Amino acid sequence: MTDQQKQTLLDQAKNILRKNNRGGFTVPTDRLYPFQWNWDSGFVSFGLAHFDLPAAMSELRTLFTGQWENGMVPHILFHSEKETTYFPNYQIWNAAVNAGAPQKPVTSGITQPPVHGFALERIYNLYRENKEVENFVREMFPKIVRFHRFFYEYRDPRKEGLVFIYHPWESGRDNSPLWDEAMANIKINKNELPPYERQDNKIADPSERPTDADYDRYVYLLELGKKNKYDGPGIAANSPFLIQDTLFNAILIKSNNALINLGIQFDFDVSELEDWQAMSVGRFNEKLWNEELGIYVSYDLRAEKQIALNEIGGIAALFAECVPFEQAEKINNYLTNLIKKDFFLCPTFDPADPKFDSKRYWRGPIWPHMNWLIYQGCIKYGFDQTAAQLKKDILGLVTQFGFYEYYEPQKKISQQLKKGYGGNDFSWAASSIIDLLMKNEK
Ligand code: 2M8
């Protein structure tokens, strides 16, 4: 890639982040997702930090204005109550059933992967010795620790060090084949579901989105959450969907680690974080490694078994840096084989599995921020060739098609396409590309 091409990509990416800024925060993409999303904002914050520090800090500050009294940071902050083009809207969530939810901004009632600890560390590493950033770290650190405490208090009833999610939206990988079995166990009686109308499939191509059967179950689990005032004890007791997700726990571990690093530098007490971390790292390796597949997998707490499928969350465990080298090598072998088989890196689901669907959302396509995560992991383990391939593939796709939500992983099919999949001018795609292209540490 020439310097000129890199500069063009950087300019485009910065323009997307400026265009998607709504004053203090960034929407993931116009129209399809017109509010502030939790983990999107984490990714966006460190992309912004490369060229607009005030915007980067506002991004995280604004997100944490949605933090609940129990510490949870919700997956959506509905900053505009007039905007009605997204389902489910704030009225359907009715977060006020929980007295600790803020009145403003109104929010959803579930959460998303806690990327903010490592995002904060990344911003700090870009601006060491900057007083404003130091103050920002001091301000954000306790809020993010509170968020992590929420997980260990509310989402880990057996005190294992592994936290559960109770809605696929919390995983960030909404319709991943990982959830199929648990979702199929939810028997839907339409009369018991409130009437609802999807909006997403009017804006994006329905063949690139979750199915109606998925949405029925998303609504069912939302209602279950609401009945339990979101995070009441009835969730762990009754939710048919109760999963210890690999990616979610890997990100928690990575962010714990980032907070420990920052806490030591800033003289915060990190003993609580260290206790959580010791428990989480040990259990992650014990319970979520699948020797037969050679990858980490999620664990279904309802069915009491591993979800033995080869999926991107298991690969992204490399990012958490808690993986012994022998295991990391097996994951790297899997990625190397994919390259040989004529796939761009990295499909979100195993192309050899019949459930693989190369264009349907989290069932196969490539997502730029996931490449960013795995790239960082590969660098840490010294898998330089795989890292280079991850970077090359995502830069190539973005250069060819633009900053889409996701992309076709099969080279032969990709050649015949004119665009990516899902939403366009996507914020975390822009942010990940900026971070991959800029010099990483100042
Ligand atoms: C997608 O999820 C939302 C629900 O949260 C949706 O489909 O309506 C997912 O890709 C999720 O990971 C992401 O945070 C969100 C916004 O980009 O969109």
Which has the closest alpha carbon to 230: 73, 45, 8, 122?
73
Q: How far apart are CA 70 and CA 68, in angstroms?
A: 5
Distance between Cα 16 and ligand 1 center (Å): 18
DSSP letter, residue 311: B
Distance between Cα 2 and ligand 1 center (Å): 33
pTM for the full predicted model = 0.98
Count the residues in the chain: 442
Q: How far apart are CA 177 and CA 49, in angstroms?
A: 34
Task: Select from 16, 20, 31, 33 the residue to mutate for testing ligand 1; criterion: most ligand atoms less than 8 Å from CB.
Answer: 33
Task: Select from 108, 174, 348, 367 the residue to mutate for testing ligand 1; criterion: most ligand atoms less than 8 Å from CB.
Answer: 174
Per-residue pLDDT of the chain (442 residues; tens, 9 = 90+): 899 999 999 999 999 999 999 999 999 999 999 999 999 999 999 999 999 999 999 999 999 999 999 999 999 999 998 888 899 999 999 999 999 999 999 999 999 999 999 999 999 999 999 999 999 999 999 999 999 999 999 999 999 999 999 999 999 999 999 999 999 999 999 999 999 999 999 999 999 999 999 999 999 999 999 999 999 999 999 999 999 999 999 999 999 999 999 999 999 999 999 999 999 999 999 999 999 999 999 999 999 999 999 999 999 899 999 999 999 999 999 999 999 999 999 999 999 999 999 999 999 999 999 999 999 999 999 999 999 999 999 999 999 999 999 999 999 999 999 999 999 999 999 999 999 999 653 3
Ligand 1 is surrounded, with C-beta below 6 A, by 28, 33, 37, 39-40, 75, 169, 172, 174, 200
Q: How many CB atoms lie within 10 A of CB 292?
A: 8
Distance between Cα 276 and ligand 1 center (Å): 28
Which has the closest alpha carbon to 138: 194, 61, 223, 228?
61
Q: How many CB atoms lie within 10 A of CB 239?
A: 21
Three-class SS state of 402: coil
Whether 342 is a known active-site residue: answer no
Q: How far apart are CA 372 and CA 114, in angstroms?
A: 16
Q: Which atom of ligand 1 is nearest to the CA of 112?
A: 14
What single letter denotes the amino acid at residue 59? E
Q: Which atom of ligand 1 is nearest to the CA of 28?
A: 17
How is the chain split among helix, strand and coil, in percent rounded to 5?
55, 10, 40
Pick the catalytic residue: 174, 245, 300, 311? 174
- List the structure tokens of 212: 């109606």
Which residue CA neighbors atom 7 of ligand 1 most closely?
174
Which residue CA neighbors atom 12 of ligand 1 most closely?
172
Distance between Cα 87 and ligand 1 center (Å): 11
Task: Select from 169, 209, 215, 367 the residue to mutate for testing ligand 1; criterion: most ligand atoms less than 8 Å from CB.
Answer: 169
Distance between Cα 83 and ligand 1 center (Å): 17
Distance between Cα 213 and ligand 1 center (Å): 17
Pick the catalytic residue: 40, 208, 405, 435? 405
In sequence order, the β-bridge partners of residue 301 are none
Q: Which atom of ligand 1 is nearest to the CA of 32?
A: 8
- To 5 degrees, how large is the angle CA 253–CA 180–CA 195? 105
Query: What is the CB-side half-sphere exposure of residue 242 using CA atoms within 13 A?
Result: 21
Instruction: Supply the DSSP string of 224-276, one letter for each residue.
Output: HHHHTTTT-THHHHH-S--EE-HHHHHHHHHHHHHHHHHHHHTT---HHHHHH
Which residue CA neighbors atom 3 of ligand 1 most closely?
169
Which has the closest alpha carbon to 308: 330, 292, 323?
292
Cis peptide before 102, with omega less than 30 degrees from 0?
no
Query: What is the CB-side half-sphere exposure of residue 249 using CA atoms within 13 A?
Result: 34
Q: Which atom of ligand 1 is nearest to the CA of 169?
A: 5
DSSP letter, residue 420: -
Distance between Cα 329 and ligand 1 center (Å): 31
Three-class SS state of 407: strand
Whether 174 is a known active-site residue: answer yes
